[in-house]
Amino acid sequence: MISAFLDHLETGRGNSARTRNARLAAIRSLFSYAALRHPEDAAVIQRVLAIPTKRFERAIVTYLTDPEIDALLDAPDQGTWTGRRDHALLALAIQTGLRATELTTLKLHDTHLGTGAHVSCIGKGRKQRITPLTKDTVTTLKNWLKDRGGVPADPLFPTRSGTAITRDALERRVTKHAATAALACPTLAEKKISPHVLRHSAAMRLLNAGVDTTVIALWLGHESVATTQIYIHADLALKERALARTTPLGTTPGRYQPTDTIVAFLENL
């Protein structure tokens, strides 16, 4: 029956293999609990626990390059209140790598912009995480707080009515500004930009700066360092630097670059 349910998720509901595996994990948790209290059903419980997870393709993560980040930060119209809010929100998201829910639930008292500037949030598993802020982000947030006003318990990024911006609204704002930024940076049009892409971008910037993956995992609030390995697979520049280290002695490091004459010849074939 459980196997039929898992098959129905994919064939009937059209869910992905990831969703199937998530449902199976919940079922396994229940049956692991039952195994300790109903040993008489050990045979059936063992069969359920033996159901394997389904393999699925892991796509390379999407992230923004520095020119794309600059274009996205310039997209909001800072002549308006919502534009200044969105600019501060995007700058904080890209620098800290906070999850969408962590961003939308921030309060004014969660920002500490004095010595040792940082922002604190409650992440997955109700774990508190503190993330340091750069000088540029501190300046942006200070300007926003002067414009924002309010008491410490108020949302850091509110709507016009004063309530906290929702996750759906955040996604719409990111999509809107990405479309505007694509006019100045055409490569953005080739990417589907979401709040999680901003999180990936923060991780890739840390990785390119030479920060160890264990520190990146701590920064992002990952439960396991293995989760952070996806960023190593996505960084082509990192792989090319590793390839350059394998260059034989006596040769010039780097990859072959054809001359303009050869390129023109190949284009005319």
Active site residues: 99, 124, 196, 199, 222, 231
Phi, psi at 111, each rounded to 5°: -100, 135
**Cα–Cα dist 139/143, whole Å:** 6
**Cα–Cα dist 192/211, whole Å:** 26
Q: Are strands 128-132 and 118-122 parallel, antiparallel or unpaired?
A: antiparallel
Cβ pair 196, 23 in contact under 8 A = no
Q: Which candidate, 101, 133, 132, 99, places its Cα nearest to that of 221?
A: 99
Cβ pair 111, 156 in contact under 8 A = yes
- Chain position carrying tokens 């303009």: 260
**Cα–Cα dist 201/198, whole Å:** 5
**Cα–Cα dist 223/124, whole Å:** 9
**Cα–Cα dist 19/188, whole Å:** 29
CA distances from 151 to 110, 114, 155, 156, 190 (A): 12, 18, 9, 10, 41
